[in-house]
Amino acid sequence: MSITILAFDEINLLLCVLILTLTVVYFWLHRPQGFPPGPFGWPIIGSLPSIIVEEPYKAMAKLSKTYGNIIGLKTGRRLVVILNGYDTIRTALVKNALAFSGREIDTVQHEVFNGRGLINIDYNDVWKEERRFTLMALRKCGMGSLRLEGKILREIKYMMADLDERINQPIDLLDILTQTPANVITTILLGKRFDNNDTTFLKLLSLQHSFTRTVNRVGASNFFPTLRFLPGMNYANEMHAIIDGGAKIFRQYIKDYIRNFDSNSEPQCFIDMAISRIETLGDHATMLYDSLSYTLWDLYSAGTETISMTLNWAMQYMVLNPKIQYKLQADIDDVVGASRPVSTTDRPSLPYVDATLNEVHRMSTIVPFSVSHRVTKNAWINGYFIPSGTYVLPNLWSAHHDATVWDDPETFRPDRFMKNGSLSKRLELIPFGLGHRECIGKQLANMELFLIFTSLIQNYRFSIPDNIKPPTSKCLLRAVSVLDPYIVRVQKRL
Ligand code: HEM
């Protein structure tokens, strides 16, 4: 009798475990009705293996041929949607901007920034006000106007002085290509440039370097937050150390600038304007100053790495495509000559320079998955239901490598942006993203890239040194497309 009772209990227990397991599996794998299709999901980890691959943006572009341009994934409890192709990205981020402009609130970055700064703030009134102020202040500091040109050209002179010391030597250009935009952005933010061996500058550059590498590593735990509890997978401490380290440097500048602040004199740079605004607002000044130190880090870091990486790709394409380099040199010689520096007023006469920079943006797509977005209210796009809270990755790389839009998309060919000798703009080129969260530094980036790249090509010839392997165009990191280091030889032209 007792044996029968025990067996009955065992069956009950087994049934309970089975029902519990099936319920858990159902909830881990269940997708809401109308959610976009996507690859098979494993119990617990869901479709994580489909996205944690070597070149996820390429893998997703390939999967869009099977599932369509909107791919739905489930990674653990998290719903993820990948937007492929220009039309789909535009439909979501522009036509449905009110639903698609949030930032994910369960990522390592969000935990570290904790509502401070600009890039990682969710779509809310604080972000709207911070973005409005930041844009206004950057414009007052010269972004988008000729006033900034002199400051950029001054940095270019320092850059060329450094390069002049390395003529005919095999060098990796990346350090030089990083110091120049770093000093442009600190001039705008702090009204100050740094010598290359200044300890604060070296610290900022080193934090930036570590930041890019850590952002690339946190990817998996952002898709699948439970991974953060596994040993060796919690990058939050590393991220805290880097970002808090950057914010600490800027906090010291804020203190110094507050000490010397004079409300009667005209603000000279971004930090002056921000202090003046906080002093006027008064009330929660401590909180606002804390957030300002993170905004300064956001702008410093976004304004340095993106430009240096784009220039690094551009110079790689120049050594791999000497004919394009010679054509650019001939154009610049005709329009600017040798006796004066280039100016943005030369830009309309140098369409092939812009065509080349556009092609560099397209081929490299240095932020291939953009910055992730979050859906802030239930939305329908192209017939699919995307619930509030879904993590969204706009696959900018897919828009730039879509064979139905770009002929022979894997070939570097600036001529695709030329028509009858003039620059032909292409809507599908979206390196700065689209919609409400579009890059705030787009105008600054366009001006810097034009002036720095044209000056380099005007003054030097770049080639692969004898007995050195040509660059591979291999990407080492993927959240920001970091190139495998390569060596060039620099010869003086003028
Ligand atoms: C080649 C240069 C650059 C590229 C390719 C680039 C690209 C991007 C992309 C793809 C985004 C995300 C857009 C989205 O969320 O949909 C972004 C956001 C942002 N970028 Fe840039 N960027 C560049 C230069 C800069 C510069 C120079 C600055 C500094 C002023 C800057 C500051 C920012 C900020 C603050 C955001 C966040 C905007 C927000 O969340 O409202 N970027 N950028």
Task: Determine phi and psi for 129, rounding to 5 degrees.
Answer: -70, -40
If one counts every other C-beta atom within 10 angstroms of the C-beta of residue 311, the result is 24
The SS3 of residue 374 is: strand
- Ligand 1 centre from 433 Cα, in Å? 8
The structure tokens listed for 275 are 């202090």
Task: Give the separation between CA 140 and CA 147, rounded to whole angstroms.
Answer: 10
**What's the pLDDT tens digit per position in 403-455?**
999 999 999 999 999 999 999 999 999 999 999 999 999 999 999 999 999 99
Task: Give the separation between CA 45 and CA 226, rounded to whole angstroms.
Answer: 10
Look at the chain and count its residues: 494
Task: Give the separation between CA 345 and CA 482, rounded to whole angstroms.
Answer: 31
Name the residue among 430, 292, 300, 450 with its Cα closest to residue 361: 430
Does the beta carbon of 142 lie inside 6 Å of ligand 1? no
Higher pLDDT, 452 or 143: 452
Task: Give the separation between CA 249 and CA 204, rounded to whole angstroms.
Answer: 8
Residue 166 gets the label, from left (phi > 0), alpha (psi -120 to 50) or beta, of alpha
Choice from 297, 432, 449, 482 to test ligand 1 binding pocket (greatest atom count within 8 A of CB): 432
- Ligand 1 centre from 81 Cα, in Å? 21
pLDDT confidence band for 239 (50 / 70 / 90): confident
pLDDT at 1 > cutoff 60? no
pLDDT at 220 > cutoff 90? no
pLDDT at 346 > cutoff 80? yes
Please report the pLDDT score of residue 85 as a whole number. 98
Residue 319 gets the label, from left (phi > 0), alpha (psi -120 to 50) or beta, of alpha
Task: Give the separation between CA 410 and CA 401, rounded to whole angstroms.
Answer: 7
Strands 391-395 and 78-84: parallel
pLDDT at 309 > cutoff 50? yes
Task: Give the separation between CA 206 and CA 199, rounded to whole angstroms.
Answer: 10
Where does residue 370 rank: exposed (0-12), middle (13-18), buried (19+ CB within 10 A)? buried
Residue nearest to atom 37 of ligand 1 (CA): 119
- What is the pLDDT of the chain when averaged over all its residues? 90
pLDDT at 2 > cutoff 50? no
**What's the pLDDT tens digit per position in 110-140?**
888 888 899 999 999 989 999 999 999 999 9
Task: Give the separation between CA 266 and CA 245, rounded to whole angstroms.
Answer: 30
With respect to CATH, is domain 36-492 assigned 4.10.640.10?
Answer: no
Does the beta carbon of 184 lie inside 6 Å of ligand 1? no
| Residues contacting residue 234 through CB under 8 Å, at least 6 positions apart | 221, 228
The structure tokens listed for 287 are 């909180």
- Ligand 1 centre from 18 Cα, in Å? 49
Higher pLDDT, 412 or 266: 412
Q: Do residues 491 and 319 make contact, with C-beta atoms less than 8 angstroms apart? A: no
Please report the pLDDT score of residue 27 as a whole number. 59
**What's the pLDDT tens digit per position in 381-409?**
999 999 999 999 999 999 999 999 999 99
Q: Which helix (H) or strand (E) holds 43?
A: none
- Ligand 1 centre from 367 Cα, in Å? 9
Task: Give the separation between CA 93 and CA 177, rounded to whole angstroms.
Answer: 32
Q: Which helix (H) or strand (E) holds 71?
A: strand 70-75
Choice from 439, 444, 448 to test ligand 1 binding pocket (greatest atom count within 8 A of CB): 439
- Ligand 1 centre from 92 Cα, in Å? 18
Task: Give the separation between CA 48 and CA 71, rounded to whole angstroms.
Answer: 13
Does the beta carbon of 439 lie inside 6 Å of ligand 1? yes
Region of poorest pLDDT, from 1-10, 280-289, 419-428: 1-10
pLDDT confidence band for 459 (50 / 70 / 90): very high
Residue nearest to atom 43 of ligand 1 (CA): 439
Task: Give the separation between CA 365 and CA 134, rounded to whole angstroms.
Answer: 25
Q: Do residues 368 and 54 make contact, with C-beta atoms less than 8 angstroms apart? A: no
| Residues contacting residue 469 through CB under 8 Å, at least 6 positions apart | none
Task: Give the separation between CA 387 and CA 374, rounded to whole angstroms.
Answer: 10
DSSP state of 142: T
Share of residues in the chain with pLDDT > 70 (%): 90
Task: Give the separation between CA 342 and CA 152, rounded to whole angstroms.
Answer: 11
CA count, 13 A, side-chain hemisphere, 255: 6
